[in-house]
Amino acid sequence: MYDLIGDIHGHATPLKQLLETLGYREVSGIFSHPEQRHVIFLGDFIDRGPDQVETVRIARAMVDAGTALAVMGNHEFNAVAWASEDLERPGEPLRAHSDKNRNQHQAYLDQVGEGSALHREHIAWFKTLPLYLDLDGLRVVHACWDPKSLEALYEHLDDQQCILPDAWPELTRKSTLAYDALETLIKGLEISLPAGNEFLDKDGTPRRNIRARWWELDGITYRDLAMVPADVIHQIPHVPIPEDLMPGYQGDKPLFVGHYWLDGRPKPLTPHIACLDYSIAGLEFGPGDFPKLCAYQWDGEQELIADKMIWMEGK
């Protein structure tokens, strides 16, 4: 059986505490469970937190020892693209070294030592992480399970769902089918607003796409499903989203995702889908509500149970 752990973002201390609470013990630098349970990490090991190198060490040691599995998060994808040369544009990286991108990534670069041997080791390991897992009884992806995107990426992945070495340039080219499919899996579903509609983001920039709560099956208007700040929600049209734009997860297996920086008391999103990202790298949200590193103890059940979500608070 599996213990699934959400986005860690360099917070190694609560990770160790969570593993110990789940019954894992560290021996010779590797956490394992006496009853042969295994961890599945949902990605986003790096960026933001104080112990990013130690976080990667713990996860990598477990994966290498066979006591854990892991999928790639958007932060690992971005790290590889940042550190990799675009062979179609010699001397240029796959991810632009802009001020915005550097600010998002600088804490990791400082801790690992940009260009160091350890940095190169991390990048090589990140490349081995699959984009998703479809196992007996459950599925795991960082942000969104979308069959159309999975199909679009098929030729770019090996038989372990890892990105093929020669596929990286195309997956970093904006406005390609493969790029959009990858963005959906690791960053979430974005849908275009009806023609003539837009909203202003926090910087005052007009936006014509919204990140959607793709797991919702009821009340699916653009406004209902838009993941936008509360002060702009009124700018989103309150008209139904065409059904063919939504993945419509069938619930034949439980699905676990991270990525969405939720708050409050952890609970499944639906009877068959759970998000395990409860913003461990965030700030306190309100009275008595702290960022959390969250796990789910899965024992083969088809419908997910709120009481099986376990967490450590970050303070």
Residue 105 host element (H or E): helix 99-112
Is the separation of the CB atoms in 8 and 48 below 8 Å?
no
The pLDDT > 70 percentage for the chain reads 99
- Tell me, what DSSP letter sits at residue 290? -
Q: Say if residue 201's pLDDT is above 80.
A: no
Residues 6+ apart with CB under 8 A from 259: 7, 42, 43, 44, 73, 74, 142, 143, 186, 187, 188, 275, 277
Give the pLDDT mean for 250-256: 94
| pLDDT per position as a tens digit, 281-295 | 987 677 778 899 999
Q: What one-letter code names the amino acid at 36?
A: Q
**In the chain, what are the domains?**
2-189+247-313 (3.60.21.10), 193-240 (no CATH)
Q: Coil, helix or strand for 5?
A: strand
How open is the CA angle 184-188-193, to the nearest 5 degrees? 90
| pLDDT per position as a tens digit, 15-50 | 999 999 999 999 999 999 999 999 999 999 999 999
The pLDDT > 90 percentage for the chain reads 81
Average pLDDT score over the chain: 94
At residue 184, the pLDDT reads 97
At residue 204, the pLDDT reads 77
Report residue 109's pLDDT band, with 50, 70 and 90 as the boundaries.
Answer: very high
| pLDDT per position as a tens digit, 183-192 | 999 999 999 9
At residue 219, the pLDDT reads 66
Q: Say if residue 305's pLDDT is above 80.
A: yes
